[in-house]
Amino acid sequence: MRNAVRNGFAFAVTTRIYVICVVLGILFVVSNFHLLRVAGDYLDSHQNDVEMHLVEAELGRVRADAARDQALLSHRDQSVRGFYAKQVSDEFLREQIIPRLWRELDIPFAVVIGGFDRIDAGIVDGQIVSNKKAHIAVRENYDLIARARVEYAHHKVRRSTGFTIDGDPLDPVHPLYVSDIRFYDGAPAVAVAQAIVPDAKALVPPGTPKILLTIKPLTAAMLERMKSTMGFEQFSIAALGLAAQPATHSIVLPGSADSQPLVATWTSRPDSQTMWEGVAPVMAVTFLIVITGLTFLARHSARTAHELAVREAESRSLAFRDPLTGLANRLKFDRVVEELVEGGTQLRWAVACIDLDRFKVVNDTYGHHAGDEVLCRVADIISRMVGDRGMVARMGGDEFVAVFTRDTGREHLRTVCDTIIDLVSREIAFEGGSARIGASIGIALWPDTGASAKEVIRAADAALYRAKDEGRGRICFSDEPQGRRQSGRMAPNRGRAA
């Protein structure tokens, strides 16, 4: 029973330690995954903001490049002379404008708008077209034309002899041109509107400026270059709601009220994925180290806890055990007897005080080592005879005591105790010799001889002294008259001195 309790306690402690270590391991994994997920979400959000600015900057660069190309025509003295003439001649367009516009700059659409929104010239795919054909594009991009006139007014500076344009018309901060990404002929394109002005600080023509509107499609090659420049996996610009491919990011382009809105979409490698791929191996190694450490700690702690539990159980056991014979000690005996009394049991129980005769001779003749061996032999004899009828304790020296909780009839107790005296009185061999000793026994019954444990023990002890006084090697019951013989057997050499 004691071993089962001890093992159960050790198992419970070990289980708790393993559970704690498992919980710590789970908390480590969950907390790290949570932190990495939060960090990944932050990285993806920051990446999206950066990429949106990147797309806006790239589209701004494309618009600036288109404006720079158009400036080769709109910022020329020859263009001023040709477009500000009373009538723009077809010869001027074919010789001065179309070759550069169509062949060199790859701009398929261009239109010149004069005062009162009059279309002075229109060119589509290198051919001069009627005003009616160019009117649709003018209407869809009229906001750019109006803004170009405003920019012209802002840049125009009065001189003593007229007006000039202040600053660089292509200044990225305050440009003369306006541009945007618009939908043209079923595809995205760059629309640029600029006032036609001289290429030097010459006087600009008086009156309303003429505006050159050009539209240059964004070809697949241009979109591919933009995608490579920005480092995206996919990039496209299409009409809103008609994106050709699924994308993880998008931005709606401003456009105008008269033009179809566009959306730029792109797909890129998430920074969180890069983070996970970089962190995962390190985290796996760290996790293995932590789990290994926790496992080692759990096993070491469990082993230590088990050893402590075993030691504690052994210490408790030793506190109630006689170190020489292994029998219960006085403390254990007192506790058992007190429990019998306090338990209020109605069953009779008996205490037998046993004292060895002539044991001092063994110690004096053969030494304490031989005496200890004799005591162990006697303890074994008494334990075997009492068996499961009760408990045997060594009180100290050569004094033993037995508590009988079963078979407590007088005759049965007399038979058992008489057998103990007979067996103890036989020759006991030990290393270096042998000896004959004896034993005297005093017996007291509860509740006949007292209501308390002390009274019962005192009565048994008194009966023991009476047995020794009457010649030793005999049994005396505490409630029997003095001088009455208590045993039919006498131990050998019973009359010798102790």
Residue 496: pLDDT band (50, 70, 90) is very low
Asked whether residue 311 carries a pLDDT value surpassing 60, the answer given is yes
**Of 225, 253, 271, which one is at a domain's C-terminal end?**
271
482 domain residue, yes or no? no
pLDDT in tens, 352-366: 999 999 898 888 888
Residue 317: pLDDT band (50, 70, 90) is low
Q: What does the pLDDT read at residue 214?
A: 94
Q: What does the pLDDT read at residue 62?
A: 92
Average pLDDT over residues 295-324: 76
Higher per-residue pLDDT: 52 or 173: 52
460 domain residue, yes or no? yes
For residues 344 and 245, membership in a common domain is answered with no
297 domain residue, yes or no? no
Long-range contacts of the stretch 369-377 (C-beta < 8 A, 24+): 369/431, 370/430, 370/431, 370/432, 370/433, 370/435, 372/324, 373/430, 373/431, 374/428, 374/430, 374/435, 374/437, 375/324, 375/325, 376/324, 376/325, 377/428, 377/430
For residues 65 and 200, membership in a common domain is answered with yes
33 domain residue, yes or no? no
For residues 117 and 250, membership in a common domain is answered with yes
Mean pLDDT of the chain: 84
Average pLDDT over residues 430-443: 90
Q: What does the pLDDT read at residue 487?
A: 46
Higher per-residue pLDDT: 491 or 224: 224
For residues 125 and 228, membership in a common domain is answered with yes
For residues 367 and 451, membership in a common domain is answered with yes
For residues 362 and 442, membership in a common domain is answered with yes
Average pLDDT over residues 202-212: 85
For residues 110 and 206, membership in a common domain is answered with yes
Q: What does the pLDDT read at residue 493?
A: 40
For residues 437 and 368, membership in a common domain is answered with yes
146 domain residue, yes or no? yes
293 domain residue, yes or no? no
**Of 250, 271, 292, which one is at a domain's C-terminal end?**
271
**What CATH number corresponds to the domain at position 341?**
3.30.70.270
Q: What does the pLDDT read at residue 174?
A: 82
Lowest mean pLDDT among 118-122, 283-287, 418-422, 484-488: 484-488
Higher per-residue pLDDT: 497 or 232: 232
**Of 248, 271, 294, which one is at a domain's C-terminal end?**
271
For residues 460 and 375, membership in a common domain is answered with yes
State which residues form the domain around 168: 45-271
pLDDT in tens, 136-191: 888 888 999 999 999 998 888 888 777 888 777 778 778 889 999 998 888 899 99
For residues 246 and 120, membership in a common domain is answered with yes
Domain count of the fold of the chain: 2
pLDDT in tens, 244-272: 555 678 888 877 666 778 889 999 888 88
Q: What percent of the chain has pLDDT over 90?
A: 31
Residue 345: pLDDT band (50, 70, 90) is low
Q: What does the pLDDT read at residue 6?
A: 53
Q: What does the pLDDT read at residue 230?
A: 92
6 domain residue, yes or no? no
487 domain residue, yes or no? no
Residue 9: pLDDT band (50, 70, 90) is low
Q: What does the pLDDT read at residue 24?
A: 84
Asked whether residue 299 carries a pLDDT value surpassing 90, the answer given is no
Average pLDDT over residues 103-115: 90
Asked whether residue 402 carries a pLDDT value surpassing 90, the answer given is yes
Q: What does the pLDDT read at residue 351?
A: 93
For residues 245 and 123, membership in a common domain is answered with yes
For residues 334 and 264, membership in a common domain is answered with no
Asked whether residue 470 carries a pLDDT value surpassing 60, the answer given is yes
pLDDT in tens, 439-457: 999 999 988 887 788 888 8
